[in-house]
Amino acid sequence: MSPDNERLRAFSPIEAPDARVLILGSMPSQESLERQRYYAHPRNQFWMLICRLFNEPCPEDYLARRRILLAHGIALWDVVDSCRREGSADSAIREVVVNEFEPFFAAHPCIHTIIFNGAKAYQLYEKYVLNSVTGFELSLIQLPSTSPAHAVSFEDKLKAWQLGFEKAGLKL
């Protein structure tokens, strides 16, 4: 657990100039921060969902996982740039500083859809970012969290993510 006074910093995005879809989480888990990898908790289903949706083997190698996203026109980031949080629960996030989205979208003009990995990511974006980002036409799609704390079956999450990806125009 992080000491109460420690400010946590998120990661840089996984990105490519031609990305068409941005997947946003809220803030990396404690395990992800320790391992310096998105969705590093072994019970988080993010990478398994991505690989299943694109009919790809799910590599252990983190760089290979990143390449799967980029090959399909997907960027990955978090809404929160820094915060204070005890543990990994989204409900414990406080003193939020969000990422700089306007320059990100300006540098990625092909992005047309944001997919939110869970309700907290969407709520944070809506509260801190939505009205400050102007001049970009973006579709917003909220999907079930891939976190092990979100008690929905893998198959139900897979169906929801498949529908979300199809709505975003991703070829599965």
Domain ranges of the chain: 8-167
**CB 68, CB 54: distance < 8 Å:** yes
CATH number for the domain whose boundaries are 8-167? 3.40.470.10
> pLDDT class for 151, splitting at 50, 70, 90?
confident
> Which H or E element spans position 78?
strand 74-78
Identify the pLDDT of residue 117. 98
The residues facing 165 across adjacent strands are none
pLDDT single digits (tens) 84-142: 998 777 778 899 999 999 999 999 999 999 999 999 999 999 999 999 888 899 999 99
Q: What percent of the chain has pLDDT over 70?
A: 97
Using the predicted structure, report yes or no on whether residue 167 has a pLDDT greater than 70: yes
Model pLDDT, residue 97 = 97
pLDDT number for residue 5: 62
Q: How many CB atoms neighbour CB 37 within 10 A?
A: 17
The answer on pLDDT for 1 being more than 50 is no
pLDDT digits (tens, 9 = 90+) for 61-100: 999 999 999 999 999 999 999 999 987 777 788 999 999 9
pLDDT tens digits, 18-37: 999 999 999 999 999 999 99
Judge whether residue 2 has pLDDT over 60.
no
In this structure, are strands 80-84 and 94-98 parallel, antiparallel, or unpaired?
antiparallel
Q: Which of 148, 129, 146 is nearest to 47 (CA)?
A: 146
